[in-house]
């Protein structure tokens, strides 16, 4: 089975801290994604990457950056955490576009910024 592993299930950080969320996939997928999930707002795309060192902004990139130095790892960085970034963060990967290649999601990181 494809696995997408997010390094932390729960994180509590202080306002202004720099926060790193790590995601690793083990099936050589080209595409990786970071979403946040909030009640009433659903899944919102922050950033995605279709290749090593390549990244594209999603719908809500402000306050975030990403890094993809290796194919299997995609990191989300909160440059200066704020309370409105308290959320569930979901990482996903997929091998390519097309109907049978849906996303495989990680279990999520619930981040609380205090």
Partner 1 sequence: QKEVEQDPGPLSVPEGAIVSLNCTYSNSAFQYFMWYRQYSRKGPELLMYTYSSGNKEDGRFTAQVDKSSKYISLFIRDSQPSDSATYLCAMEGLGQGAQKLVFGQGTRLTINP
**Interstrand relation of 10-13 and 109-113 (parallel, antiparallel or unpaired):** parallel
Print burial letters for 9-23: b (CB count within 10 Å at least 16), e (below 16): eebebeeeeebebbb
Which C-beta is closer to partner 1: that of 14 or that of 98?
98
DSSP 52: T
- Smallest gap from Cβ 45 to partner 1, in A, equals 6
| Nearer residue to partner 1 within complex by CB, 84 or 98 | 98
Q: In angstroms, what is the C-alpha Rg of the chain?
A: 13
Instruction: Compare residues 14 and 44 and give the one whose CB is closer to partner 1.
Output: 44
List residues near partner 1 by CB under 8 A.
4, 31, 33, 40-43, 45, 48, 50, 58, 90, 92, 94, 96-100, 102-108
């Amino acid at each position: 089975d494809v696995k997408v592993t997010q390094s932390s299930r729960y994180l509590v950080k202080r306002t202004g801290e720099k926060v790193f969320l790590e995601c690793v996939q083990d099936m050589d997928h080209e595409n990786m994604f970071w979403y946040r999930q909030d009640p009433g707002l659903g899944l919102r795309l922050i950033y995605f990457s279709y290749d090593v060192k390549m990244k594209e902004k999603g719908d809500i990139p402000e306050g975030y950056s990403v890094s993809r130095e290796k194919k299997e790892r995609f990191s989300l960085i909160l440059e200066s955490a704020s309370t409105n970034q308290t959320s569930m963060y979901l990482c996903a990967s997929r091998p390519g576009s097309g109907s049978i290649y849906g996303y495989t999601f990680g279990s999520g990181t619930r981040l609380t910024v205090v």
